[in-house]
Amino acid sequence: MSIISNFISAVQAVHKTGIAREHAYRPALHDLLKALADDLTPVNDAAKTEVGAPDFIVLRGEIAIGHLEAKDIDLDIRAMKDANKRQQDRYRAGLPNLIYTNCLDWDFYRDGNLIASVTIADFLMGIQPIPGQFARLENLLRDFVAQRPQTITSPKDLAQRMAGKAVLIKDVLFNTLKLDHEFQSELAGQFKAFKEHLIHDITPEDFADIYAETIAYGMFAARLHDTSLGTFTRQEALELLPKSNPFLRNLFGFIAGPNLDDRIAWVIDDLAKIFQAANVKKIMAGFGKLTGQQDPFLHFYETFLAAYNPAKRKARGVWYTPEPVVNFIVRAVDEVLQTEFGLTEGLADTSKVTVDWDTGTTDSKSKPIISKKEVHRVQILDPATGTGTFLAEVIKQIAPKVKGVAEGMWSSYIEKDLIPRLHGFELLMASYAMCHMKLDMILTELGYKPTGNPPRLGVYLTNSLEEGERDVRDLFMAQWLTREAREANSIKRQTPIMCVIGNPPYSVSSSNKGDHAQELVAPYKADLDETSMNSLSDDYVKFIALAETFVAANKNGIFAMITNNSFLDGVVHRKMRKHLRETFDKIYIVNLHGDSNKRERTPDGIPDKNVFDIMQGVSIIVAFKISESKNLADVKVADVWGARQLKYEYLFKNSLKSVKFFDANFLGDYHFFTCRKFVERPLYENGFKLDVFFVSGLSGIKFRKDSLLITGNYNRSDAVQMVNDVTSLEAEVLFRKYRFSETKDWKLAEQRENFAYPKDIDFVRVAYRPLDWRWTYYPYARINRIIPRGDSRRGLMRHMIDGSNLALISGRQNKSGLLTHFFVTDCPSEMKTGESTIQSYHFPLYLYPSEQDLDKTRRVNFDPKLYKRLQTLATHPTHGTPHEVAVFDYIYGVLHCPAYRRTYAEFLKIDFPRIPWPASPDEFWDISAKGTLLRKLHLMEPAAIGPTPYPFKGEGNTVVEKPEFRDGRVWINKAQYFDEAPPVSWEFYIGGYQPAQKWLKDRKGRQLSFEDAKHYQRILKILSETDRIMKTISMTLAS
């Protein structure tokens, strides 16, 4: 009998017992694998499996050559779901030679790809062998055990293999911690130390995550220094790590130790085998050129992070900083130090200052003992150092200055006058390790020869936005973590940082919400009359505030960064800009633009490009403070437009001195850092402000769980079905159907009761996008639990539910460059209904009384004094005094006047619009009448729309595939179209959207009903009529 015949017989015998589960078949699998070769050892360790190892590790000698994951005999391994599918994805990414089997079906994976499948028995009325497939399985198994590690030759291959192993390491570490209920192990001790000293809100899962990165990049660093390429182990890694990185060396003391938990050791050893198959030094050889554009370290890190955890890269706002940007910023700092501070050597300056220094000890009265300490004056910090690009550039700028004077003293200079004043903070473990490696290699390439006891590099694993604490408690099981925290905190607390540089993360949904991070931006929010200040909680704003704090504490200094450029003209950022002007003596802005949300174009009319692969525009800020001054800083602005390569060339070619700057146009208390031209300002500001005229108004509903609560609810029955699904479907099924997941403030188990026993009145129509209404579940008493944090806008939207109403929808700012952010609704609205790039605000015409109000009459939502003045100016001998609806329509007409939008374009981009007082009663009533027509059109009143001569033609299934406009027809698929469609309707914008295109794109894959076809015909008519009516609106815009 063949080994496969023996195996299937053993499986059948186990199955016949009637009580066998997955584990019962493992002896048969063990014997099968063992029979393939005498030198094979199949290891099935239940303890390892429990923390994330596959069921079998196949060893030849002590080398793992492959892995096998066994599933129960009745589980279809080719249609796995949920946890099984996620496990398979991790194994495929991390285990290059892998088998998945349920004993009958066998799938073979090589480097993550399925290379062969075979079925040796059917599972029908028992196990029915298929002998004709036995030989094929045996051949595949022999090929499986014959595999040898493949030599890794490319950075991408190495990064992806590292990432695959790191994912497995993360799972193993997390599961090991999870099983340690008392937290008594050495790994648990390190977790507690991380929590106390580095990241206070870290979870075991997050700890496992960053620890896995540490291990991966620690081994990378070690292998980079390895000269004996034939062998590599975790023990060797410890010996090879440079002394300049004591953090990694101490961590590897645990990883390489003889007492490392066997449940963890197997996967660490697997990672070591990856590096044994790679000549890392040769792979990274291009680094020796020291040119950032060819620097594989940067791309290697991003490739690793994209494969390991792409969500983390996005959440942390991690992006590679182009070399021309880095080079310009570092040269600018060097130039300012020379020209403004009188330090002729610039960044290479070695002068010192004496400061008060907390020794870390206390006297007999428990007071800190302070001594005098001499430190370098030019202390440099990159608080979000990433892979160390900026610090590396500083070294490259300094090296020729020092070596040009005394090359033989270069190594001494590094240890005595460079490393002690070059600092970096980093929270992401992968980039932290990469930064240490990069700086180590840069120094080596530049001829640094360390002494026997070199100083550590000043890059620390810490959260820059957490306050430095004086007292750092010693933790016995993680002394090395204690030292890291103590040194990082010392820099935060008392090192006189003079130069702050870098590229901080951009993340509106900031995860840095600690007290200190909030305190940093508190001055930017002080006395700021705004309902939403979320944009001031963006990480980049916090890092700017941190840089400002360092310079202010030092009483002089520079900060130079590239950041998100929204702070240059954001209305909510006005106090931030003023605060920066109060702190610094002079501020330079090089606005690199490139905001694709705004569809920015150059002065020549061609699309402007970003220097990063991101949508948000960016700018460089260089600000310096020389002395205490009560004057507000001058702000100089330069706009750089064009293609990415042109911007790179501009930055390489220019210095701060050669850039042509212009004075910023502050526009009073806005303190804008731009050169915008605001024409007719006095006349514009004479008008009334929309958010003042309307007494009550807020942004629209922010659903948070859009894909569940609104996006797919095209009609009322969809919303009813959604509610039924929430109460009845299993969690995984619900999450998959509606493509959403739980969050800390939204747990399905807690939410089910909020969806129970719905009433008819709980289902509400919502203005979702211009001319596109959806339905949602909006039980008034429970909606604040379904949509937490006040985002349901319950207090505002009840005015649209309690009675008939109108509401003006207006954006406050506009990033699209299109001045179309105005709409109208007669029902609740979503937050981006009328403005696609930021958010739109909802201003109801009427306010309905609440149950607590004594006065039960509805009120007009206008400021009484402004309303009365407008009525007086508009009173007409024929039309009389305008009522509230006529006034509403006047405002709506003004907002759709082309001359108004064109004349006041710059004002309309930055804040709520101001509405001109009518020049005469005739003008008021003319504009109001046209506003009435537009309002009725946009609310889709049938009488206003009239005939819709755009017949739907063609035979087919009416499924929207790829909408396009061609030959006067709007095609929804290859065979069907709306005929005689006006071109203007297809291109027309409302709220930054093109409704004729957006409506169809949102229904891709959906079959249009007869009602849908009629609705779309109305959209085409409404848009063409809107264009026609707008062209007839004129008004007096001169004094």
Give the domain CATH number at 55: 3.90.1570
Phi, psi dihedral angles at 638 (to 5 degrees): -130, 135
With cut-offs at 50, 70 and 90, classify the pLDDT of residue 453. confident
Beta strands in 231-388 (DSSP E): 352-362, 368-376, 379-382
Q: In this predicted model, what pLDDT tens digit does every residue of 961-995 receive, in sequence order?
A: 999 999 999 999 999 999 999 999 999 999 989 99
Residue 51 in this model has a pLDDT that exceeds 80: no
Q: Do 995 and 956 have their domain in common?
A: yes
* Residue at 972 is within a domain: yes
pLDDT at site 934: 98
The beta strands (E) that lie in 793-882 are given as: 807-811, 822-825, 840-844, 846-847, 859-860
Pairwise pLDDT comparison (631 vs 506), residue with the higher score: 631
The answer to whether 844 and 861 are in contact (CB under 8 A) is yes
Within-domain flag for 178: yes
Tokens linked to 627: 């002395």
Pair 351, 382 in one domain: yes
Residue 105 β-bridge partners: 119
Q: CA dist 205 to 169, 171, 474, Å? A: 12, 8, 24
**What is the structure's pLDDT at 297?**
65
Cβ neighbours of 466 (radius 10 Å): 21
Across 871-880, average pLDDT: 97
Mean pLDDT computed over 850-864? 90
pLDDT exceeds cutoff 90 at 854: no
Q: Which two tokens stand for residue 441?
A: 């290699």
Say yes or no: 193 and 285 in one domain. Answer: yes
**Ranges 16-25, 338-347, 567-576: which has the least confidence:** 16-25
What is the per-residue pLDDT across 271-315, written as a single tens digit (0 to 9) for each?
888 888 888 877 776 544 543 445 656 667 777 777 777 766 555
Candidate from 187-191, 812-816, 979-983 with smallest mean pLDDT: 812-816
Under a CB-based contact definition with an 8 Å cutoff, are residues 415 and 443 in contact?
Answer: no
Q: How would DSSP label each residue in 942-958? A: HHHH------EE--S--
What's the DSSP call for residue 876?
B
The token duo for 806 is 């109108």
Percent over 90 (pLDDT), the chain: 60
In a domain, 846, yes or no: no
Crossing angle between the packed helical segments 574-583 and 539-554, to the nearest 10 degrees: 20
Angle between helices 246-255 and 186-197 (to 10 degrees): 150
159 & 141 share domain: no
Residue by residue, DSSP assigns 365-420 as: TSPEEEEEEEEES-EEEETT-TTTHHHHHHHHHHHHHHHHHHGGGHHHHIIIIIGG
Structure tokens at 631: 């004057």
Q: How far apart are CA 210 and CA 170, in angstroms?
A: 8
pLDDT over 80 at 198, yes or no: no
Q: How many CA atoms lie within 13 A of 702 on its CB side?
A: 12
* The predicted structure's pLDDT at residue 161: 83
At 317, the pLDDT band (50, 70, 90 cuts) reads very low
Crossing angle, helix 3-16 and helix 134-145, to 10 degrees? 110
| Percent residues over pLDDT 70 in the chain | 95
pLDDT of residue 67 exceeding 90, the answer is yes
185 phi and psi angles, rounded to 5 deg? -75, 170
Looking at the structure, do residues 954 and 1021 belong to the same domain, yes or no?
yes
Residue ranges of alpha helices (H) inside 146-245 are: 155-179, 186-197, 204-224, 234-240
Q: Which of 966, 988, 976, 975 is nearest to 1013 (CA)?
A: 976
Q: Model confidence at 479, in pLDDT bands (50, 70, 90)? A: low
Domain check: are 113 and 231 in the same one? no
To which residue do tokens 């790039």 refer? 837
> Cα 780 vs. chain centroid, distance in angstroms?
33
297 plus 434 within the same structural domain: no
Q: Which helix (H) or strand (E) holds 726?
A: helix 716-728
Residue 124 and residue 185 in one domain: no
Domain residues for the domain of 121 are 3-145
Would you place residue 476 in the very low, low, confident or very high pLDDT band (cuts 50, 70, 90)?
A: very low
pLDDT at position 735 over 60: yes
Give me 726's structure tokens: 């929430």
pLDDT at res. 288: 44
pLDDT at 70: 93
**Edge-to-edge order in the sheet of strand 698-699:** 698-699, 840-844, 807-811, 822-825
Is residue 776 included in any domain, yes or no? no
Contact 14, 25 (CB under 8 A): yes
CA distance 502 to 424: 10
What region does 482 belong to: left with phi over 0, alpha with psi -120 to 50, or beta?
alpha
Q: Is residue 130 part of a domain?
A: yes
Helix, strand, or coil (residue 128): strand
Band of pLDDT at residue 327, cut at 50, 70 and 90? very high
pLDDT given for residue 650 in this prediction:
97
Q: What is the pLDDT of residue 220?
A: 84
Looking at residue 474, its pLDDT comes to 57
**Range 37-42 average pLDDT:** 88
pLDDT in tens, 117-172: 999 999 888 899 999 999 999 989 998 988 777 677 777 788 888 888 888 888 88
When computed from its CA atoms, the radius of gyration of the chain, rounded to whole angstroms, is 33
Q: What is the pLDDT of residue 918?
A: 96
Spatial CA neighbour of 332 closest among 561, 646, 636, 504 = 561
Angle between helix 429-445 and helix 204-224 axes, rounded to 10 deg: 20
Which of 305, 332, 353 terminates a domain? The answer is 305
What is the torsion angle, in degrees rounded to the nearest 10, for the CA atoms of residue 371, residue 375, residue 377 and residue 380?
-110
Q: Which of 184-188, 451-455, 511-515, 692-696 has the lowest mean pLDDT?
A: 511-515
The answer on 339 and 195 residing in a single domain is no
Q: Do 229 and 85 fall within a single domain?
A: no
Number of domains within the chain:
5
Average predicted confidence (pLDDT) for the chain? 90
Residue 443 lies in a domain: yes
Model pLDDT for residues 891-923, shown as the tens digit of each residue: 999 999 999 999 999 999 889 999 999 999 999
Q: Does some domain include residue 726?
A: no
Q: Are 489 and 469 in contact (CB under 8 A)?
A: yes
The values of phi and psi at residue 824, to 5°, are -140, 150
**DSSP character at residue 743:** B
Tell me the C-alpha distance between 998 and 711, whole Å. 13
Label residue 648 left, alpha or beta by phi (over 0 means left) and psi (-120 to 50 means alpha). alpha
b/e sequence 267-286, b meaning 16+ C-beta within 10 Å: bbbbbbbbbbbbbbbebbee
What is d(CA 803, CA 443) in angstroms, rounded to the nearest whole number?
A: 72
- Two tokens at 191? 């977790």
Residue after which a domain boundary falls, among 676, 706, 734 = 676
| Cα distance between residue 72 and residue 812, in whole Å | 59
**Positive or negative: CA dihedral 590, 596, 601, 602:** positive
* Per-residue model confidence (pLDDT) at position 574: 95
876-880 long-range contacts, Cβ below 8 Å, gap at least 24?
Answer: 876/921, 876/922, 876/924, 876/925, 877/921, 879/921, 879/925
Q: Closest Cα partner for 861 from 875, 843, 873, 887?
A: 843
For residue 74, count CB atoms less than 10 angstroms from its CB and return exposed for 0-12, middle for 13-18, buried for 19 or more: exposed
- C-alpha to C-alpha distances, 435 to 169, 423, 439, 473, 616, nearest whole angstrom: 22, 11, 6, 27, 26
The two structure tokens encoding residue 680: 């007719």
Strands, E, within 23-161: which ranges? Answer: 40-43, 56-60, 63-70, 97-101, 105-110, 113-119, 121-123, 127-129
Specify the pLDDT at position 578: 97
- Is the domain of 137 the same as that of 161? no
Q: Are residues 263 and 137 in the same domain?
A: no
**Torsion angle of the four alpha carbons 912, 913, 917, 921, in this order, in degrees rounded to the nearest 10:** -120
Of the residues 632, 647, 676, the one at which a domain ends? 676
* Helix or strand (DSSP H, E) at 938: helix 921-938
d(CA 67, CA 738): 35
Task: Give the model's pLDDT for residue 17.
Answer: 83
Query: Cβ contacts of residue 359 below 8 Å, gap of 6+?
Result: 368, 369, 370, 371
Position 319 scores a pLDDT of 57
CB 895 within 8 A of CB 888: no
In a domain? residue 330: yes
Fill in the DSSP letter of residue 285.
G
CA 103, 107, 111 angle in degrees (round to 5)?
140
The amino acid sitting at 622 is V
- pLDDT band with cut points at 50, 70 and 90 for residue 506: confident
**pLDDT score for 585:** 96
Cα distance between residue 379 and residue 498, in whole Å? 5
Highest mean pLDDT among 17-31, 197-211, 292-306, 718-732: 718-732
Angle subtended at Cα 829 by Cα 825 and Cα 834, rounded to the nearest 5 degrees: 75
Could you tell me the two tokens for 912?
């709520």
